[in-house]
Amino acid sequence: MEGKFTITSFAEKKKTGEKISVLTAYDYPTAKLLDGEVDVLLVGDSLGMVKLGYEDTLEVTVDDMVYHTRSVKRGASRSFIVTDMPYLSYHISLEESVRNAGRIMIEGKANAVKLEGGRERVEVVRKLVDSEIPVMGHLGLTPQSVNATGGFKVQARSADAGEKLLQDALSLQDAGVFAIVLECIPEEIAKYVTDSVSVPTIGIGAGRHCDGQVLVVDDMLGITEDIHPKFVKRYGKLGEEIRAMAREYNNEVKSGAFPEEVHIFKLEKSELEKIERIY
């Protein structure tokens, strides 16, 4: 990636047809490694499941998102940082929505926020955009609605449902979002939406025709081993490698092979002689 990815880069990529790359990041060392290697770092509320061990994303708080965004920001200077607004942080009132998004922007130092939902969120999106807070939308499978939708299932599996999703996307576009995530929908619907909106679409489990793609970094690296979404491509097997290295370390500690001579600090000869006289 050349230069810094900014809010204007999204529209430029849509215009030129160059794909947008997005990975999640939740901490400083990961952000440091990924910065500039991908266009966008998403501080997702998926951290509840990936990092905090929750069953879903519903327990994640604004404080959690601010904390993790600040960590990511310290490690990233080139990639654009988008942070999820967690469950119920933008559902109660417009004032509270602006206050929570403002905390993420001011305290967390995010470049933008992301929220889930279609036409029912238009008023919130418009209020945030009017408050100079850039907003990314999210349609299809919306994890914060897992209880209402009956689980993590593919969405928009009919022409009628696809048309509804398109209308949601157009409504979000008119409200001022700069991009829309499309999650777990048929490829044909994703192409239909992507071709119909003027803002870029970022797919996750939405096929090849979106304007960009996003993956959870732990899934991509092969660290998470108990979650296997069909749409994930694992570019490594770090979970297996970490476990193997831990076993090797354990064996060397128990056998005395670690630490070796090269890992040991020693006293100067004169100081050693003083110790020997004392003891």
- Judged on CB neighbours under 10 Å (0-12, 13-18, 19+), 226 is exposed
Question: What DSSP state is assigned to residue 215?
Answer: E
Q: Does any domain span residue 11? A: yes
Whether residue 224 sits in one domain with residue 206: yes
Question: What DSSP state is assigned to residue 107?
Answer: T
Domain housing 155: 7-236
Find out whether 114 and 86 touch, Cβ atoms under 8 Å. Answer: no
Find out whether 40 and 79 touch, Cβ atoms under 8 Å. Answer: yes
3-class DSSP state of 231: coil
Q: Does any domain span residue 1? A: no
Mean pLDDT calculated for residue range 26-45: 98
Find out whether 45 and 65 touch, Cβ atoms under 8 Å. Answer: yes
Find out whether 166 and 173 touch, Cβ atoms under 8 Å. Answer: no
Whether residue 227 sits in one domain with residue 168: yes
Whether residue 172 sits in one domain with residue 90: yes
pLDDT value, residue 190:
98
Whether residue 193 sits in one domain with residue 146: yes
Q: Does any domain span residue 2? A: no
Whether residue 133 sits in one domain with residue 96: yes
Whether residue 169 sits in one domain with residue 80: yes
Centroid of chain to Cα 197: 23
Is residue 247 over pLDDT 90? yes
Q: Does any domain span residue 161? A: yes
pTM for the whole thing?
0.94
| Residue 45 counted as an annotated binding residue | yes
Q: Does any domain span residue 187? A: yes
Whether residue 180 sits in one domain with residue 117: yes
Whether residue 245 sits in one domain with residue 232: no
What is the CATH number for 155? Answer: 3.20.20.60
Whether residue 133 sits in one domain with residue 217: yes
Number of domains in the chain: 2
Cα 162 from Cα 186, distance rounded (Å):
9
Whether residue 183 sits in one domain with residue 48: yes
Whether residue 220 sits in one domain with residue 131: yes
Residue 27 token pair? 């901490």
Residue 171 token pair? 């409504």
pLDDT value, residue 221:
96
C-alpha torsion 139→112→88→227, nearest 10: 60
Centroid of chain to Cα 91: 21
pLDDT digits (tens, 9 = 90+) for 55-91: 999 999 999 999 999 999 999 999 999 999 999 999 9
Whether residue 124 sits in one domain with residue 33: yes
Q: Does any domain span residue 66? A: yes
| Residue 84 counted as an annotated binding residue | yes
Residue 69 token pair? 């965004």
Catalytic, out of 96, 183, 188, 252: 183
Residues 6+ apart with CB under 8 A from 254: none
Q: Does any domain span residue 43? A: yes
The reply to whether 183 belongs to the active site is yes
